[in-house]
């Protein structure tokens, strides 16, 4: 019965509502944040942008092996 009293104390404590808020905030961020991302261009599209002088700025991130590209449009 010791486990039940520990679980009961958890639900009565402030940790449980905080945990619920954190979980709800995580899901809300995924729903809201997921729609604002533009699809990442492929390497071929990046080469095309470079050939057409449509790239204003490019920065390479060696940690993530990614590139951040700003187009002139």
Listed as own residue / partner, the contacts of 55-62 with beta carbons closer than 8 Å and 24 or more positions apart are: none
Say if residue 55 is exposed, middle or buried (CB neighbours under 10 Å; 0-12, 13-18, 19+): middle
Which token pair is 47?
Answer: 């080469």
Tens-digit pLDDT profile for residues 42-60: 888 888 888 999 889 888 8
Local mean pLDDT, 10-residue blocks, the chain (73 residues): 63 76 81 63 85 88 84 81
CA distance 56 to 50: 9
CA distance 31 to 23: 13
Element (H, E) at 4: helix 2-12
pTM: 0.43
């Amino acid at each position: 019965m010791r486990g039940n009293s520990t679980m009961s104390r958890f639900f009565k404590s402030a940790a449980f509502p905080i945990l619920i808020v954190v979980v709800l905030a995580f899901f809300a961020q995924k729903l809201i944040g997921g729609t604002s991302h533009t699809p990442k261009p492929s390497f071929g599209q990046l080469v095309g942008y470079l050939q057409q002088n449509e790239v204003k700025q490019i920065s390479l991130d060696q940690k993530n092996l990614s590139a951040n590209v700003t187009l002139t449009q």
